[in-house]
Amino acid sequence: MVVDNKVKEVKETRTDFYQKEAEEVLISFDEDIEITGGEVETATKEEVREMPVIMSIENLNKEYSKGKSVLKDVNFEIKQGELLSIIGPSGAGKSTLLRSINRMIEPTSGKITFNNEDITSVKGRELRRMRTNIGMIFQHYNLVDRLSVYENVLHGTLGYKNSLQGIFSLYTESEKEEALDIITELGIEDHIYKRCDELSGGQKQRVGIARALVQKPKIILCDEPIASLDPGSSRVIMEHLRKICSEKGITVIVNLHQVDVAKNYSDRIIGLNSGEVVFNGHPTEIDREVIQSVYGTDFDDLIME
């Protein structure tokens, strides 16, 4: 009886949480939120269709524990040079999906093809080579706090070095020049010799982007890049990501909680609900009905056993 009451209480609390999240998404969708700023140039549906495919995800499944699928038969293509946002409620599987793309998380089954090469089970040197092509930025930045901005950015080149060069942080003149150019592009050149723990969140995230860029990636994965930032800093970060995509032709994939931000900056949006792709389309196709399907939840599925 005590256990039954506890389960009921947990169920009600979690149901309230997800209902509140869905309501907040709908409210922010209806309002003009500060983060989105002014007009942003994104690709039309036709332009996205014309972009070449850089990666294919086929029948991707992930189970952390046997029989409990977190990703369920996920299928979609990623285009070269698009900004693709992944939206969905907490626990939908956004991080799992993003981290499966560079194999930080091993999928349980399915296939990932990158530049026509099956990367689902590559190992060792091949896996490292594949990862140099895929940069990543994180919600909590993942920088080395006691090192300077410059050193953190130069760390992005480590994927190209042997372990001895890496240990002694041996960087070439051209790597240093390039890092400097990228730091300047991101507007953090005044802080170049500062330790990263002296920076604001928005500045730290720009260091994270610069570190990903020196890696010369073809794809940048961004796991909730603005979740810890205020609206002003969030806008700066989204504008940089948009620019990287439009001007450098790098594919940017962003996990986002804010539908209005996804709608404003993306060329395409994928909606995940309980590990399934329930929407894959152009931002202009997002309406209240789509939001309900992405954020509507079968609450019984969310109860921990």
Which residue, 132 or 280, is less far from ligand ATP as judged by CB?
280
Reduced to 3 states, what is the DSSP secondary structure of residue 88? coil
Q: What is the nearest approach in angstroms of ligand ATP to the Cβ of residue 90?
A: 3
Which residue, 90 or 200, is less far from ligand ATP as judged by CB?
90
Q: How many residues bind ligand ATP (CB under 6 A)?
A: 10
Give the integer Cα–Cα distance in Å for 238 and 228. Answer: 13
Take residue 8 and report the two structure tokens written for it: 């009921």
- Residue 136 as a binder of ligand ATP (CB under 6 A): the answer is no
Query: Considering only 92-100, 106-114, 242-250, 293-301, which stretch makes contact with ligand ATP by CB under 6 A?
Result: 92-100
- Edge-to-edge order in the sheet of strand 117-118: 68-79, 53-65, 109-114, 117-118
Q: What is the nearest approach in angstroms of ligand ATP to the Cβ of residue 38?
A: 27
Take residue 155 and report the two structure tokens written for it: 């760390």
Which residue, 90 or 121, is less far from ligand ATP as judged by CB?
90
- From residue 259, alpha-carbon distances to 24, 114, 151, 231, 279 in Å are 10, 28, 35, 14, 13
Binding mask 95-114 for ligand ATP (x = CB under 6 A): xx------------------
End-to-end CA distance of the chain: 17
Query: Considering only 48-56, 89-97, 183-191, 211-219, which stretch makes contact with ligand ATP by CB under 6 A?
Result: 89-97
Residue 90, number of CB atoms within 10 A of its CB: 12
- Residue 271 as a binder of ligand ATP (CB under 6 A): the answer is no
Q: Which of 188, 183, 129, 198 is nearest to 153 (CA)?
A: 183
Q: What is the nearest approach in angstroms of ligand ATP to the Cβ of residue 95?
A: 3
Site for ligand ATP in 45-74 (CB under 6 A): 64, 70
- Residue 294 as a binder of ligand ATP (CB under 6 A): the answer is no
- Residue 274 as a binder of ligand ATP (CB under 6 A): the answer is no
- Residue 251 as a binder of ligand ATP (CB under 6 A): the answer is no
Alpha helices in the chain (DSSP H): 2-30, 45-50, 94-101, 124-132, 149-154, 163-167, 173-185, 201-214, 231-248, 259-265, 288-295
Residues forming contacts to ligand ATP in the complex (CB under 6 A) are: 64, 70, 88, 90-96
